[in-house]
Amino acid sequence: MTETPQPQASELGLWSRRLLAAILLGGQVLVHLLKGRINRRNTLDQMAAAGPASLPIALVTASFVGAVFTIQVSREFINLGAGSAVGGVLAISLSRELAPVLTAVVLAGRVGSAFAAEIGTMKVTEQIDALYILRADPIDYLVIPRVIACCLMLPILTLLSFVTGLIGGMFVANGLYGISNTIFLDSARDLMSVWDLCSAPIKGVVFGALISIIGSSWGLTTTGGAKGVGQSTTTAVVTSLLAIFISNFFLSWLMFQGAGRGIVGS
């Protein structure tokens, strides 16, 4: 008899325990935030890393996503006689799904992995223990600044990605399919609602909290030296992506229930 399933079972059990630790850490973060325990200097440093440093890759991603989406949609809509609705469909897709989700994916890969690697390295080199000796709470000093930075910067990046993706789609629609910029923007204005635009930063706040808490928790539970740091970094990114996609389903279900408006009749 072979016992090959045991390593997989042990890995699943370890992942489950670390996921539970991340949930508990989220509760601790909420309690500490309510008490106003914020390290301003660390928060500003993390905001710079999560915001301006991540801006170029987020905007490049959004611009090409908007352009590719326009290429995929324009021909079919023109054949159906609805070419004037391309801008509105792109705007709705970007605001509701593409901009918040893809920006969160970029941030998870760039910032979430950095959180897990940095804190994991501190854990295996016993720097976390040194914080306890200095009577500094690692949650206040390490986790809270990262959570605040992601929750503030990701909504801003999401809105900027929305604008960039819309501009990228507009250039493609005008250059390749002859849809004028005026028709494109008028369609976006007519089909979008205020709630569509508000949903993007709301999702950004939730995704930012998930990325920062999961990355920090996986770092704090790292064991096994340099190999453990690498494993924690990889698993943190995968878990963050999984959390983003699952939470996105429930957020979309809560935000956009009902029949909505028809494209042709709007």
Tens of pLDDT, residues 251-261: 999 988 765 55
Nearest to 214 by CA among 133, 135, 104: 104
Q: Do the Cβ atoms of 74 and 176 come closer than 8 Å?
A: yes
Angle at 233 between CA 240 and CA 210, to 5 degrees: 25
Q: What is the pLDDT of residues 174-218, one digit of tens each?
A: 998 888 999 999 999 998 889 999 999 999 999 999 999 999 999
Average pLDDT, the chain: 88
Predicted TM-score (pTM) of this structure: 0.89
Domain boundaries, the chain: 55-250
Identity of residue 235 = T
Whole-number pLDDT of residue 81: 83
pLDDT of residue 208: 95
Helices (H), the chain: 5-34, 40-50, 55-79, 86-93, 99-107, 113-124, 127-133, 138, 144-177, 181-191, 194-220, 225-255
- Phi and psi at residue 82, to the nearest 5°: -120, 35
What residues in the chain have per-residue pLDDT under 70?
A: 1-9, 258-266
Q: Is there a contact between 231 and 124 (Cβ–Cβ < 8 Å)?
A: no
